[in-house]
Amino acid sequence: MDQRAIDDERTLRFALWGALQTGDGPDAVDPAVLQQMQIYKGQRGMFADKVRTMDLSDDGSGVVVALRHTGLVYDDDLSDDGIIYRYPATSARGRDASDIAATKNAAVLGIPVFVVANSVSAPGRRRVRLGWVSEWDDSTGQFLVVFGEEPLSAPSLPDDDAPFAVTEARPTKQRLSEQRIGQAKFRFDVMRRYGPSCALCDMRIVDVLDTPHVVPVKSRGTNDPRNGLVMCATHHRAFDAHLFGIEPESLELCYPGRGLDALSLHITVGSLAGLGKSPHPDALIWRWDYWRKYARV
Ligand SMILES: [Zn+2]
């Protein structure tokens, strides 16, 4: 690897990002401009500009320049602070593997990438963000890209016995740039903690798996992954509607009556004890009190 070439590529990307701040700004970029700047072109989700970046990595895969997010399939995965980007799964396996390697290379070499989404304010234009491939998870096939001009110092998953506070102060808008650890990272970390499977049934399709907070966001629940669970969309909805509760000590599922039970809710487990990990006890106790209040049991 040629460190000078790597530094030059990083410098080039910051210069391109600077250029995108002029004119209509990064929220309304003409796709033709992205092509001219060699940031994104073609049809694929990942653009690695092999001609320019191939020699930067030892594996010949290059370094991904841009990740295209159309919002057509995985709309929920884009947030203000970052994006969870799925590994490509096309029929061209070799090309997919090369694109995945090129994206990992951006993380390994510390080179920022551009995330190209559709503009909200200007139809036909693109909303571009500069971000850093901060983590990936081969088991779920996902990258976490965190937006910002500096890489996030990679905080690993907290140990189960690390200090835990059920609530945390939400950053104000002004402080958002300082506290970029948010929504995208929470989903990524929760999925990695428990694996890609609903806690209540056998659903394992990532596209329909959510990561609800045990202590909800509206109650300032923390983004610590120990405050999350993986649930399919149906069971997430049922959790939000207080149709079942989780007894914090035994982890057994409880129902408020009214014909609601495991069978009617398509819940296939009697407790969460079979999960390899469980949420932090403090979060479960908080939720239990909340559930009993709302489910009126
Ligand atoms: Zn489920």
- DSSP calls for 148-201: SSSPPP---PPPTTS---SB-PPPPGGGTTT----HHHHHHHHHHHH-SS-SSS
Assess if residue 154 is contained within a domain: no
How far is the centre of ligand 1, averaged over its atoms, from the C-alpha of 75 (Å)? 20
Q: Give the C-alpha separation, 150 to 97, whole Å.
A: 27
Whether residues 221 and 137 fall in one domain: no
Secondary structure class of 52 (helix, strand, coil): helix
Domain end call among 147, 169, 197 = 147
How far is the centre of ligand 1, averaged over its atoms, from the C-alpha of 206 (Å)? 12
Q: Give the C-alpha separation, 2 to 211, whole Å.
A: 41
Look-up: residue for tokens 């407790």?
271
How far is the centre of ligand 1, averaged over its atoms, from the C-alpha of 259 (Å)? 18
Assess if residue 287 is contained within a domain: yes
Domain that holds residue 10: 3-147
Output the pLDDT for position 154. Answer: 55
Kindly indicate the confidence band of residue 77, based on its pLDDT and cuts at 50, 70 and 90.
confident
Q: Across the chain, what does the average pLDDT equal?
A: 89
How far is the centre of ligand 1, averaged over its atoms, from the C-alpha of 73 (Å)? 20
Q: Give the C-alpha separation, 62 to 50, whole Å.
A: 6
Q: Find the mean pLDDT for residues 242-247.
A: 97
Whether residues 143 and 191 fall in one domain: no
Output the pLDDT for position 198. Answer: 98
The token pair at 233 is 């969309």
Whether residues 200 and 134 fall in one domain: no
Q: Find the mean pLDDT for residues 33-59.
A: 91
Assess if residue 71 is contained within a domain: yes
Whether 140 has a pLDDT exceeding 90, the answer reads: no
Cα–Cα separations (whole angstroms), residue 28 to 22, 38, 80, 126: 11, 17, 16, 5
Whether residues 125 and 60 fall in one domain: yes
* pTM (whole model) above 0.95: no
Percent of the chain residues topping a pLDDT of 70: 92
How far is the centre of ligand 1, averaged over its atoms, from the C-alpha of 202 (Å)? 6
Whether 180 has a pLDDT exceeding 50, the answer reads: no
How far is the centre of ligand 1, averaged over its atoms, from the C-alpha of 137 (Å)? 22
Phi, then psi, of 39 in degrees rounded to 5: -90, -45
Q: Find the mean pLDDT for residues 71-75.
A: 61
Percent of the chain residues topping a pLDDT of 90: 66
Q: Give the C-alpha separation, 35 to 163, whole Å.
A: 48
Whether residues 107 and 231 fall in one domain: no
How far is the centre of ligand 1, averaged over its atoms, from the C-alpha of 217 (Å)? 21
Q: Find the mean pLDDT for residues 19-32.
A: 94
Q: 44-53, 71-80, 118-127: which range is least confident on average?
A: 71-80
Assess if residue 220 is contained within a domain: yes
How far is the centre of ligand 1, averaged over its atoms, from the C-alpha of 144 (Å)? 24
Output the pLDDT for position 179. Answer: 44
How far is the centre of ligand 1, averaged over its atoms, from the C-alpha of 233 (Å)? 7
How far is the centre of ligand 1, averaged over its atoms, from the C-alpha of 93 (Å)? 30
Assess if residue 82 is contained within a domain: yes
Output the pLDDT for position 185. Answer: 86
Output the pLDDT for position 174. Answer: 44
How far is the centre of ligand 1, averaged over its atoms, from the C-alpha of 267 (Å)? 7
Look-up: residue for tokens 């109650």?
219
Assess if residue 160 is contained within a domain: no
Output the pLDDT for position 156. Answer: 63
Domain end call among 122, 147, 172 = 147
Kindly indicate the confidence band of residue 166, based on its pLDDT and cuts at 50, 70 and 90.
confident
Comparing 170 with 149, which gets the higher pLDDT? 149
Per-residue model confidence as pLDDT tens digits over 85-112: 999 988 889 999 999 999 999 999 999 9
How far is the centre of ligand 1, averaged over its atoms, from the C-alpha of 232 (Å)? 4
How far is the centre of ligand 1, averaged over its atoms, from the C-alpha of 203 (Å)? 6
Secondary structure class of 138 (helix, strand, coil): coil
How far is the centre of ligand 1, averaged over its atoms, from the C-alpha of 270 (Å)? 13
How far is the centre of ligand 1, averaged over its atoms, from the C-alpha of 216 (Å)? 19
How far is the centre of ligand 1, averaged over its atoms, from the C-alpha of 170 (Å)? 29
Output the pLDDT for position 75. Answer: 56
Kindly indicate the confidence band of residue 250, based on its pLDDT and cuts at 50, 70 and 90.
very high
